[in-house]
């Protein structure tokens, strides 16, 4: 055997397949937070000159059209039928309400302040999962929700007097958006066609908002129409990436990474809108993120790790 017959050993990958999958999922979530924050930035910019129906009528119809085109791809071709029409109708209605309320929240509030309400959505989902999904509501969910409420109160250093219409819109958006997310999980238990869950809510958004267009329409230059098209593309790709990421990573691993959205929102608010978050915003975000992480830890930590906390609770009751 000559030396030329000896093939060099192929380098072996240091990372295991499981680690590669996890890193891929994490990278997708990071990209998702950047895309969805950019889409929110466009929402805030458009909200200064146009009404919600004008933006969402166009974007909703465009996203529905992109969904239909994507379904034509040979790798997809699952159709857009749903086996849960009532739940899909409720999810679509909740999506329309959440979109309208978030639009007005971005119009009236500093960009980063809205994230505090976005941050309590995983906690609200933990509470809604009980009655909707039949999942037991852990006591930690109520603790986390209480802490999240404290985080929201940090936005009001002057008390209830500083509560504005924008905060009410943001609160309603968080509740409606969470309801839509939980219904998505409910639908996903019986059907695997994620594209249908993109199609119907956005089609409903476009059709409902189109009804109000004759009353609120303002002529749009090509540049603003281009921004709405950019928003549509960002939203469509972001939601698609999140679906893929949730297939690669457990939900409890995705949720902490979603908090990167606050970093993007602060950066976008500072660079494009000249907004610098107040100290109360940072404090509120820290409390909301901490409460969400505690809820995740309580769901995933082994019983032995939670034992000291259980003993402490029993001691307090005595």
> Has residue 93 got a pLDDT over 90?
yes
pLDDT digits (tens, 9 = 90+) for 49-66: 899 999 999 999 999 999
Name the least confident of 6-15, 75-84, 182-191, 280-289: 6-15
Residues whose CB is less than 8 angstroms from the CB of residue 31 and which lie 6 or more positions away in sequence, other chains included:
241
> Has residue 316 got a pLDDT over 80?
no
What is the average pLDDT value for the chain, to the nearest integer?
A: 82
**What local confidence, expressed as pLDDT, does residue 223 receive?**
93
Task: Supply 289's token pair.
Answer: 């993120």
pLDDT digits (tens, 9 = 90+) for 173-182: 999 998 998 8
The confidence band for 76, taking pLDDT boundaries of 50, 70 and 90, is low
Name the least confident of 182-196, 211-225, 227-241: 182-196
Mean pLDDT in residue range 188-192: 79
CB 46 within 8 Å of CB 55:
yes
DSSP letter for each residue of 54-87: HHHHHHHHHHHHHHHHHHTSTTT---S--S-HHH
Residues 169-181 as b or e (16 or more Cβ within 10 Å = b): bbbbbbbbbbbbb
Write down the pTM of the prediction: 0.78
């Amino acid at each position: 055997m000559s030396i030329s017959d000896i093939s060099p050993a192929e380098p072996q990958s240091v990372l295991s397949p499981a680690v590669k999958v996890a890193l891929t999922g994490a990278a997708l979530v990071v990209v998702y937070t950047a895309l969805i924050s950019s889409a929110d930035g466009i929402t805030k910019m458009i909200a200064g000159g146009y009404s919600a129906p004008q933006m969402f009528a166009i974007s909703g119809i465009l996203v529905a059209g992109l969904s239909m085109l994507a379904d034509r791809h040979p790798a997809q071709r699952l159709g857009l039928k749903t086996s849960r029409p009532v739940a899909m109708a409720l999810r679509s209605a909740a999506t329309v309400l959440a979109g309208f309320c978030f639009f007005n929240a971005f119009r009236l509030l500093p960009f980063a302040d809205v994230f505090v309400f976005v941050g309590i959505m995983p906690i609200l989902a933990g509470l809604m999962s009980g009655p909707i999904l039949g999942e037991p509501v852990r006591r930690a969910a109520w603790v986390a929700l209480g802490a999240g409420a404290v985080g929201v109160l940090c936005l009001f250093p002057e008390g209830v007097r500083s509560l504005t219409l924008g905060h009410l819109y943001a609160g309603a958006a968080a509740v409606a958006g969470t309801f839509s997310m939980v219904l998505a999980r409910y639908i996903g238990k019986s059907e695997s066609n994620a594209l249908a869950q993109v199609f119907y809510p956005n089609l409903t958004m476009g059709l409902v908002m189109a009804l109000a267009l004759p009353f609120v329409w303002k002529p749009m230059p090509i540049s603003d129409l281009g921004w709405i098209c950019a928003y549509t593309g960002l939203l469509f790709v972001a939601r698609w990436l999140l679906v893929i990421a949730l297939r690669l990573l457990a939900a409890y691993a995705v949720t902490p990474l979603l908090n990167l959205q606050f970093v993007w929102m602060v950066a976008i608010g500072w660079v494009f809108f000249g907004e610098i978050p107040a100290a109360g915003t940072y404090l509120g975000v820290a409390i909301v993120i901490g409460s969400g992480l505690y809820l995740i830890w309580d769901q995933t930590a082994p019983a032995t790790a939670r034992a000291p906390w259980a003993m402490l609770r029993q001691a307090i009751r005595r």
